[in-house]
Amino acid sequence: MTDPTRRRYPNLDKERRLLRNGFFRVAGLDEAGRGAWAGPLAAGAVILPLHLPSLRTELAAVRDSKLMTPLQRKAAAVRIRSIATAWSVGSASAEEVDLLGPLQATRLAMLRAIHELPTDPDHLLIDFLILPGSPLPQTAVTHGDLLCLSIAAASVLAKTWRDEQMVALERIYQGYGFARHKGYGTRQHAEALFRLGACPEHRQSYAPLQRISELPPV
């Protein structure tokens, strides 16, 4: 059996199977920023026009956003938004991540993304998760961003939206390097925390933040 983690580009197999079973508006969902130390957690939702024969060709560059460069993601996001039947991005704030925990905050961001879709989906394809808060039929797909085009497209929109937010936060909270590391746990980020302490966009409940806060300033 082929290892799904080695697949470079997703396909439409699961979406087409759902289409044959009467689901015409399949929404792929994925998150970005769950492991970051700072900034919002984002979730993308994308309904692709499954009736379009050339859909996979039209979105040939789309894959798991983590495997794409920033320029590739930006170009792919423009393409996805132009072709998708519907798309949206929902988010949960750093404060909500602290209050709810990363798993429930991810689900909250996904529910918000579904609510913001201009077209109601009739089935959800979700990377790894199910959403108990949604009455819609849904399928959790392990390695969904590697396997399913709609989930990969959602991952691209979530990642590009979140990156834009982190660039904007760099202008508000200068010195942390948000525009470079996008809130993730890098050495530069840790050194900035030693110097400056946490800002309101940091997730205080995360263990690295708690450990750093206990250390003396450098």
| Tally of structural domains, the chain | 1
Question: Would 194 be classed as within a structural domain?
Answer: no
- List, for residues 27-48, the tens digit of each pLDDT value: 999 999 999 999 999 999 999 9
Q: Look at the block and give the residue holding tokens 């039209």.
A: 58
CATH assignment of the domain containing 83: 3.30.420.10
Question: Would 19 be classed as within a structural domain?
Answer: yes
Q: Look at the block and give the residue holding tokens 């789309």.
A: 62
Question: Would 189 be classed as within a structural domain?
Answer: no
Report the 10 Å Cβ neighbour count for 24.
Answer: 14
Q: Greatest CA separation found in the chain?
A: 61
Question: Would 179 be classed as within a structural domain?
Answer: no
C-alpha span between 141 and 74 (Å, rounded): 25
Cα angle: 200, vertex 206, 210; to 5 degrees: 85
Dump strand ranges (E) for the chain: 26-32, 41-47, 86-92, 123-127, 138-141
- Name the β-bridge partners of 90: 43
Q: Look at the block and give the residue holding tokens 């409940």.
A: 205
Question: Would 178 be classed as within a structural domain?
Answer: no
Q: Give 186's DSSP letter.
A: -
Question: Would 116 be classed as within a structural domain?
Answer: yes
**Tens place of pLDDT per residue across the chain (218 aa):** 455 555 679 999 999 999 999 999 999 999 999 999 999 999 999 999 999 999 999 999 999 999 999 999 999 999 999 999 999 999 999 999 999 999 999 999 999 999 999 999 999 999 999 999 999 999 999 999 999 999 999 999 999 999 999 999 999 999 999 999 999 999 999 999 999 999 999 999 999 898 876 655 54
Residue 83 sits in which domain range? 6-173
The model's pTM is 0.94
Length of the chain: 218
Q: What are phi and psi of 144, to 5 degrees?
A: -60, -35
DSSP code string of 79-141: HHHHH-SEEEEEEE-HHHHHHH-HHHHHHHHHHHHHHH-SS--SEEEEES---TT--S-EEEE
Question: Would 199 be classed as within a structural domain?
Answer: no
pLDDT of 218 reads: 46
pLDDT of 135 reads: 97
- List, for residues 167-181, the tens digit of each pLDDT value: 999 999 999 999 999
C-alpha span between 208 and 154 (Å, rounded): 28
Q: Which of 114, 121, 30 is nearest to 73 (CA)?
A: 30
3-state secondary structure of 67: helix
Question: Would 205 be classed as within a structural domain?
Answer: no
